[in-house]
A and B are shown apart, each in its own frame.
Chain A
Amino acid sequence: MPEEVRDRVIRCIAEAQHLDPETVTIDSTFEELGIDSLDGINILFALETEFEIDIPDDAAQNIRTVREMVEGVERLLAEKVDSRPQEQA
């Protein structure tokens, strides 16, 4: 996976959770990081702002790890690129 997206996701999580980014890894689970449902929506908001994407409720529901979150963001970024020509048309 591209380095950059991973690092930006980790930064968003760390900032939202007031954690040292060093303590957040790609293999961290939300449980390990103490992320509950309210923290989760706050992180989704941070990611939507950081990447200028819209994360649908159903896409977000079952995410439990940093890796799943990075993969989800990458998917949405790819869709955003795909849809760009259609928007212009």
Chain B
Amino acid sequence: MEPRRVVITGLGAISAIGDNVAELTAALRRGACGIRPIQLVDRSKLRFSNGAEVAGYDPVRYFDPKEASLLDRFAQFAVIAAREAVAQAGLEAGSPLFRRAGIVTGSCVGGQTTEDEGFVDLYLRGRPRINPLIIPKTMANAGASRISLEYGIKGPVYTVSTACSSSSHAIGQAFWMVRSGIIDLAITGGSEAMFSMGILKAWEAMRVVSPDTCRPFSRDRNGLILGEAGAMMVLETLESARSRGAPILAEVLGFGMSSDAHHLTQPSVEGPALAMQAALGDAGLAPEAIGYVNAHGTGTVANDPTETAALYSVFGPRASKLPVSSTKSMHGHTLGAAGALEAVASIAAAREGFLPPTVNFTEPDPACDLDVVPNVSRPGNPEFLMSNSFAFGGLNAVLVFRVL
């Protein structure tokens, strides 16, 4: 039997560069940078001062106050992105397709912002008790569970937490479940909201956050910029999408994963290359087919040349001509949401006929000899796209899409 073809019929995203996919796409096209002085945390106590926050976010726009009080910001972003994707797919609560549907989300930090606030009460203010909602608000599956409640989805619902690869792993597993027939439809993606003092101080101690901005692949890059976001997609079979006349936005063609088995935090060349090759193999594509890569491209000193070397090992000398951009330069590193947000961004841009740029780019680095689409978006209609996510812990996840 031919494997089932899996298509994307809905996309949703909220990030520093837009409250929805239309705004995100417009921002990517004009190369808008969402990196600004941090507002959610007292930045005078930090060695870095910029982040990519969802500016002017007001939960009451999306949730009634009781509902909002039950959800950490990261779970709210998951629900908001899922609602947009589900609406575009033409589905609603009680849709018959939801009987054999699942949800797989990714998050690295989960609701630790809520936990951080609770622990301040306990340890700093000396209070004898903390809010009982901390447990259900902190759990990494809070977003997935809320989406399940909202739409009445009773199939496999779970959350993957593999640091910065979380949502790429999530999408890959949802894709495989739909392709293999375990479920007929999936809502999948990821979300993250890490702007709390405890989490930011921990990132400060890691010494990988830029004191100014994110300049992936640029010679003067000096670190990543943290960003918050939610990004989701609806996956279903091609047959299902056709039969109900749903918008067919792209096809999920391949998913590959690997582990570096090298070091907790230092990147390797081999691990990412293995994941890219696995994704191409799963897609049944030769490397030459790929027309655009959304890089992991964190802008750290270590990641970018290592990823470049991995790209060369997979694509050969053609890597120097292949458009490879890092949209993290615009929406920041959204950790567990990164793979989903970057997949949504890549697909949305390609459908609008352009390649998103790597902004803040000042100077080429010979160790990153790539066409990074510097600073300005470029017209382009790539049919096959690759999206890379490489995590601390050495865990790599790569997705391949076909724009339809």
Contacts and interface: CB of A to CB of B under 8 A. Distances in A.
A60 B207 contact: yes
Interface of A is mostly: helix
A56 interface: yes
Given A45-B205, A56-B47, A57-B47, A37 B265 contact: yes
Name the residue among A44, A57, A60 with the largest chain B CB count within 10 angstroms.
Answer: A57
Interface string B42-78: 0000010000000000000000000000000000000
Interface in A21-64: 36-38, 41, 44-45, 54, 56-57, 60
B41 interface: no
Interface of B: 47, 205-207, 211, 223, 263-266, 302
A57 B205 CA distance: 9
B127 to A, nearest CB: 27
A41 B302 CA distance: 15
Contacts of B263: 36, 38
A36 B262 CA distance: 12
Contacts of B207: 41, 44, 57, 60
Contacts of B302: 37
A41 B266 CA distance: 13
Contacts of B206: 41
A50 B340 CA distance: 41
Contacts of B266: 36-38
A18 to B, nearest CB: 16
Nearest to A37: B266
Nearest to A45: B205
A54 B205 CA distance: 11
Contacts of A37: 265-266, 302
A57 B223 CA distance: 10
A45 B211 CA distance: 18
Given A38-B263, A38-B264, A57-B211, 11 more contacts: A36-B263, A36-B266, A37-B265, A37-B266, A38-B266, A41-B207, A45-B205, A54-B47, A57-B47, A57-B207, A60-B207
B247 to A, nearest CB: 45
Contacts of B264: 38
A49 to B, nearest CB: 11
A50 to B, nearest CB: 15
A36 B302 CA distance: 13
Contacts of A36: 263, 266
Contacts of B223: 57
Contacts of A41: 205-207
Contacts of B265: 37-38
